[in-house]
């Protein structure tokens, strides 16, 4: 990207490296990756709420909604307004709020262990192999932002600092995830609210560019339809 300032996404990289066909192939895989990650974010938010409020169902008039589907719907409705923001600068503040919540939770755990007398002497099984696949998938899911790296780099004022920012985020995230896995259920609840809009924005921008639409109404409509389609995907996964 430093050698070719016109590169804004992985699709542009594919175009420079392999021509138009490379651009199409890379675009298909990257947008599919973003779409599926966004679906997983909705599922993660719904599952976290269901874990906190088990055996809870919803009823609207004569319509009964299962707890998992209802919580995913609530997550989608709560996240929806963040997808209407077209400025990546505004989305940066939403992502920063997630980091702030994580720091607050970390401080609460440290305070409870060091000051309130709870301590750090929890006894139990060192490793639960039955839960290892789920824990590993959640840990890997925390590193799912690679698809938006070019977009983030392009949106920075000083693009030369991107490598340092990436290294800092990777080190601090890995350290925090390893040390604070005991509150993973709470941090996973806030992850969809802080990352979903960033994942959906490149897809929405690509559709808007293809349709050559610049109006505010069409932008909101496209992003809303993306959220609705992803909620349907989550519902199908819950039913099957």
Distance, in Å, from the CA atom of 188 to the CA atom of 140, rounded to the nearest integer, reads 13
Q: Indicate the angle between helix axes 184-211 and 10-52, nearest 10 degrees.
A: 140
* 119: pLDDT strictly greater than 70: no
Region 92-108: mean pLDDT is 73
* 183: pLDDT strictly greater than 70: no
Percent of the chain, pLDDT > 90?
A: 2
145: CB partners within 8 A, 6+ apart: 152, 195, 198, 199
Q: What is the pLDDT of residues 38-85, one digit of tens each?
A: 888 888 788 878 877 888 888 877 777 887 888 888 888 888 888 888
Q: What is the pLDDT of residues 155-170, one digit of tens each?
A: 777 777 888 888 887 8
Distance, in Å, from the CA atom of 240 to the CA atom of 237, rounded to the nearest integer, reads 5
Residue 70 near residue 58, CB atoms below 8 Å: yes
pLDDT of residue 181: 60
Q: How sure is the predictor about 213, in pLDDT bands with cuts at 50, 70 and 90?
A: confident
Question: Which residue has better confidence, 74 or 127?
Answer: 74
Mean pLDDT over the full length of the chain: 78
Region 23-33: mean pLDDT is 87
Tokens of 217: 């109404």
Q: How sure is the predictor about 111, in pLDDT bands with cuts at 50, 70 and 90?
A: confident
Q: How sure is the predictor about 129, in pLDDT bands with cuts at 50, 70 and 90?
A: confident
pLDDT of residue 224: 92
Q: How sure is the predictor about 240, in pLDDT bands with cuts at 50, 70 and 90?
A: low
- Give the CB-side neighbour count of residue 176, counting CA atoms within 13 A: 22
Considering only CA atoms, give the Rg of the chain. Answer: 20
pLDDT of residue 137: 67
pLDDT of residue 150: 76
Distance, in Å, from the CA atom of 17 to the CA atom of 14, rounded to the nearest integer, reads 5
User: How many contiguous H segments (helices) and E segments (strands) does the chain have?
Assistant: 8, 2
Region 82-93: mean pLDDT is 75
Task: Return the closest-CA partner of residue 188 out of 140, 145, 138.
Answer: 138
- Bridge partners of 63, per DSSP, are 60
Question: Which residue has better confidence, 153 or 140?
Answer: 153
pLDDT of residue 16: 83
* 124: pLDDT strictly greater than 70: no
């Amino acid at each position: 990207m430093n050698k070719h300032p016109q590169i804004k996404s992985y699709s542009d990289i594919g175009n420079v490296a392999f021509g138009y066909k490379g651009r199409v192939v890379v675009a298909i895989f990257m947008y599919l990756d973003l779409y599926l990650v966004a679906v997983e974010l909705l599922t993660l938010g719904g599952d976290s709420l269901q874990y906190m409020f088990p055996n809870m169902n919803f009823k609207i008039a004569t319509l009964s909604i299962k707890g998992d589907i209802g919580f995913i719907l609530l997550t989608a409705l709560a996240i929806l307004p963040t997808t209407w923001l077209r400025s990546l600068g505004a989305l940066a503040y939403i992502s920063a709020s997630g980091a702030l919540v994580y720091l607050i939770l970390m401080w609460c755990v440290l305070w409870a262990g060091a000051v309130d007398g709870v301590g750090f002497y929890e006894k139990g099984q060192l490793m639960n192999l039955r839960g290892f696949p789920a824990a590993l998938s959640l840990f890997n899911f925390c590193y799912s932002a690679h698809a938006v790296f070019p977009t983030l780099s392009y949106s920075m004022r000083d693009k030369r600092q991107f490598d340092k920012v990436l290294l800092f985020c990777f080190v601090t995230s890995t350290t925090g995830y390893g040390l604070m896995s005991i509150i993973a259920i709470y941090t996973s609840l806030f992850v969809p609210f802080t990352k979903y809009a960033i994942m959906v924005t490149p897809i929405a921008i690509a559709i808007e560019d293809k349709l050559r639409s610049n109006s505010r109404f069409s932008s909101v409509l496209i992003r809303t339809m993306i959220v609705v389609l992803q909620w349907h995907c989550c519902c199908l996964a819950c039913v099957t």
